[in-house]
Amino acid sequence: MISDFAKLSVKNLSRRGKRSWLTIIGVVIGITAIVALFSLSQGFEDSITREFDDLGANIVYVLPGSGVEGFFSPEGRLEDSDLDTTRRVIGVEEAGPMVYEAESVARYRGEEQRVPLIGIPTDSSQETIMRANSLEIDRGRNIREGDRFSGVVGHDIAEAEVFEREVGLRTQVEVEGTDVRTSGVFERTGDPEYDGGLFLPIDSAREILDEDDRTDFIVVEVQAGQEPQQVAEQIEQDLRQERNVREGEEDFTVSTADDLLESFLDVLGIVQYGVLGIVSIALFVGGLGIMNTMYMSVSERTKEIGIMKAMGATKRQILSIFLVEAGVLGLIGGAIGIIVGLGLSEVAFYLIRQFVGIPLSPTISLTLIISALGLSFILGVFSGFLPARKAARLEPVEAIRQQ
């Protein structure tokens, strides 16, 4: 029975070709946006999760301020005593400080740009800092003990994506009025802050910024066999005692890699559902289009409906015919929207890989495809219910007389 209704619906829709396609466009736009959005967000989520897995679950971060937002925009400063306190905590293998100035003035061959200035240690904690931030030398050498104003540039600086000219090895870049000689280039990390940054020994960065005791955050490596969350809690407790602050009044944040991952995913989820709310407007418009088309179809086929009823068709059968027809409209729009949405997400990720360098790929989920098809069919059926009910309630004699 349902297959017969579907065949009849396709036949009726094909008779109204242009109108049917115009109606379908609204559904296509809505489903395209939803599929592209969820494919992109899932791809970003998978990529972020992989990045944190690569960093290792045994990394803990001590940040200034009261939230993860302090990671790149510090609300305050950490002290040398905070580093000493952190290093004394049982379960801490290594802890290293970092300095991060988001917009330092850099000049190269007459061109001025604002670039992140990042100070990293040259002692044994350097390896922890490198691993926690996915930093690897591409060419040249890394910062080492004894260097003063010699540093490593990010991939984008070396490849003329910050300055108009490439910054090669053994060249000089002026940073905040100080000449810095480049000793190496880092591989692309996918983080624009690091790829466009200039890395110096932490003491040199402090000297350039004229802040000898500045520490913006601390990276901690937890000993093997220790639970990172427990170590993080102990660090937080010891820092409260050292700073003489009560629980809940901390002016610092201690976060594990899992905490940071959860925070990033929470923000991504908020953005995702915010955009989904906007996209729902397109689906609503598509539903109104289906409803309008089905009302017009009922008006044009009044005589046909009367004849079917005169031949014994029940109200339920008439209702089913128009509901299936409306559902098929939504289903066709949904199928096209899925194809277009997946195509757009693939193009978006290709552009990100090519121009940003982040190794992202869209996630094609069977659940997403089935959900999108189901949503588009339900949208069609729901939008076509009132017109279908009107058709089912027509009296045979009156319907035949109206044509």
Q: Is 59 part of a structural domain of the chain?
A: no
* Angle at CA of residue 291, ends 285 and 293, nearest 5°: 105
What is the model's pLDDT at position 349?
80
What is the model's pLDDT at position 151?
93
State whether 293 and 385 are in the same domain.
Answer: yes
- Domain limit, last residue, from 250, 272, 287: 250
What is the model's pLDDT at position 357?
60
In contact, 111 and 164? CB cutoff 8 Å: yes
Any bridge partners for residue 140, and if so which? 184
Phi, psi of 59 (to 5 degrees): -105, 135
Question: Treating both helix axes as pointing N-terminal to C-terminal, what angle do 257-300 and 17-55 enclose, rounded to 10 degrees?
Answer: 170
Q: Is 375 part of a structural domain of the chain?
A: yes
What is the model's pLDDT at position 311?
74
Indicate the pLDDT class of residue 276, thresholds 50, 70 and 90. Answer: confident
Q: Give mean pLDDT, residues 335-358.
A: 81
State whether 45 and 166 are in the same domain.
Answer: no
Least confident of 96-105, 119-128, 207-216, 307-316: 307-316
- Domain limit, last residue, from 206, 223, 250: 250
How many structural domains compose the chain?
A: 2
- Higher-scoring residue by pLDDT: 74, 330: 330
pLDDT above 60 for 152? yes
State whether 244 and 102 are in the same domain.
Answer: yes
Which pair of structure tokens corresponds to residue 239?
Answer: 């820092």
What is the model's pLDDT at position 76?
59
What is the model's pLDDT at position 93?
92
Q: How far is CA 32 from CA 44, 64, 353, in A?
A: 18, 42, 22
Note down the domain range covering 85: 77-250
In contact, 157 and 188? CB cutoff 8 Å: no
Q: Is 46 part of a structural domain of the chain?
A: yes
Residues near 278 by Cβ (< 8 Å), separated by ≥ 6? none
pLDDT above 80 for 108? yes
State whether 90 and 202 are in the same domain.
Answer: yes
The helix/strand/coil state of 227 is coil
Q: Is 128 part of a structural domain of the chain?
A: yes
Q: The whole model's pTM is what? A: 0.63
State whether 225 and 267 are in the same domain.
Answer: no
Q: Each residue of 52-92: pLDDT tens digit?
A: 665 556 889 998 876 544 444 445 578 888 999 999 999 99
Compute the Cα dihedral for 354, 359, 363, 364 and give only its sign: positive
Q: Is 72 part of a structural domain of the chain?
A: no
Q: Each residue of 186-230: pLDDT tens digit?
A: 998 878 889 999 999 999 999 999 988 899 989 999 998 888 889
Phi, psi of 394 (to 5 degrees): -65, 135
DSSP codes, 82-134: HHHHHHHSTTEEEEEEEEEEEEEEEEETTEEEEEEEEEE-SSTTHHHHHHHTT
Q: How many CA atoms lie within 13 A of 93 on its CB side?
A: 17
- Higher-scoring residue by pLDDT: 282, 125: 125
State whether 366 and 390 are in the same domain.
Answer: yes
Compute the Cα dihedral for 286, 290, 295, 296 and give only its sign: positive
Q: Is 62 part of a structural domain of the chain?
A: no
State whether 177 and 284 are in the same domain.
Answer: no
State whether 246 and 269 are in the same domain.
Answer: no
Q: Each residue of 10-20: pLDDT tens digit?
A: 555 555 656 66
State whether 26 and 89 are in the same domain.
Answer: no
Q: Is 374 part of a structural domain of the chain?
A: yes
Rounded Cα–Cα distance for residues 36 and 344 (Å): 6
State whether 314 and 382 are in the same domain.
Answer: yes
- Domain limit, last residue, from 250, 271, 290: 250
Rounded Cα–Cα distance for residues 27 and 329 (Å): 9
What is the model's pLDDT at position 192?
83
Q: Is 209 part of a structural domain of the chain?
A: yes
State whether 26 and 88 are in the same domain.
Answer: no
State whether 110 and 196 are in the same domain.
Answer: yes
Beta strands in 121-261 (DSSP E): 137-140, 150-153, 172-175, 178-186, 198-201, 217-222, 252-256
pLDDT above 90 for 154? yes
